[in-house]
């Protein structure tokens, strides 16, 4: 079984994150066991993205969601950075601006969606509007509960416009989150990431898990699947995400576009230029 099948949420399935092991290592024992495979995936990802960019026919949207310290930035740095920045960008969605609040909740998200040939990574995404808004009662239940259908329809529209959508929930344990908070406190280079709100949000851990359970259950579709990635071990998280993105892009069977020029004519001109340069070199000698 490939990783896409192993970690995907089947459409219609009922997710219970409390029953899934965030410390799963997939049969590997340590980072050293997977370093070569991750590097092969990164190289293949770079190749596939080049063809995607050149073809200008399909696009790729990657959504990363996680509880605090879940590894969204790390996944971008260690896996998705293999792609050429010329055809790849990262968007994140923090507290909406006054202009964004004046529109529907998907307005700012649609503006950030990828064009054909482009890869866009959402570091947090439109799912915040059925997560944080639900947990903290920022809008009435009748509003956030209707957003699942809006999200599915929005993602279907993107898929119909030739966008491949891959959504990753990076699943960590509450104990691992606390350990990562401590690591930030202990490392002067990472203290800038610390916010008081991070610790206060731990009180809502159960509420967030229930909110994710419903979002993953109701919004994993054939055209925009969710993948639940065990993320307590950063190296296994990186391997799983890398393999799934490669598997999914490879399944598109993308082909490089045909040249827009007469290649044989250019080749003849190239050889003629080389012969002329060779003669000039000998005359000078």
Which pLDDT belongs to residue 252?
Answer: 96
Taking only the tens place, the pLDDT of each residue in 92-144 is 988 889 999 999 999 999 999 999 999 999 999 999 999 999 999 999 999 99
Beta strands at 88-92 and 119-123: parallel, antiparallel or unpaired:
parallel
Measure the CA–CA gap between 22 and 174, rounded to whole angstroms: 10
pTM: 0.91
Measure the CA–CA gap between 211 and 148, rounded to whole angstroms: 12
Q: Which residue ranges form the domains of the chain, and what is each CATH number?
A: 3-260 (3.40.50.300)
Residue 148 pLDDT > 90: yes
Taking only the tens place, the pLDDT of each residue in 191-240 is 777 777 778 899 999 999 999 999 999 999 999 999 999 999 999 999 99
**DSSP code, position 43:** H
């Amino acid at each position: 079984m490939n990783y896409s099948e192993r970690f995907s949420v089947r459409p219609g399935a009922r997710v219970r994150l409390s029953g899934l092991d965030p410390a799963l290592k997939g049969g590997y024992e340590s980072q050293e066991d997977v370093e070569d495979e991750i590097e092969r995936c990164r190289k293949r990802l770079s190749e596939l993205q080049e063809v995607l960019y050149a073809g200008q026919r399909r696009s790729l949207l990657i959504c990363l969601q996680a509880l605090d310290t879940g590894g969204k930035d790390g996944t971008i740095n260690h896996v998705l950075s293999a792609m050429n920045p010329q055809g790849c960008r990262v968007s994140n969605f923090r507290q909406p601006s006054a202009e964004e609040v004046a529109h529907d909740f998907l307005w700012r998200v649609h503006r950030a969606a990828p064009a054909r040939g482009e890869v866009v990574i959402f570091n947090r995404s439109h799912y915040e509007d059925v997560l944080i808004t639900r947990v903290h009662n920022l809008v009435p239940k009748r509003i956030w509960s209707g957003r699942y259908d809006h999200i599915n329809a929005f993602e279907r529209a993107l898929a119909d416009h030739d966008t491949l959508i891959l959504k990753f929930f990076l699943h960590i344990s509450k104990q691992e989150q606390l350990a990562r908070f401590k690591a930030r406190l202990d490392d002067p280079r990472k203290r800038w990431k610390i916010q008081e709100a991070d610790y206060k949000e731990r009180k809502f851990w159960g509420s967030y898990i229930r909110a994710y359970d419903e979002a993953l259950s109701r919004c994993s579709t054939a055209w925009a699947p969710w993948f639940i990635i065990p993320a307590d071990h950063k190296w296994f998280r990186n391997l799983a995400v890398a393999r799934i993105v490669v598997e999914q892009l490879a399944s598109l069977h993308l082909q490089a576009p045909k040249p827009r020029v007469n290649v044989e004519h250019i080749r003849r001109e190239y050889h003629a230029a080389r012969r002329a340069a060779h003669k000039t070199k000998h005359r000078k000698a």
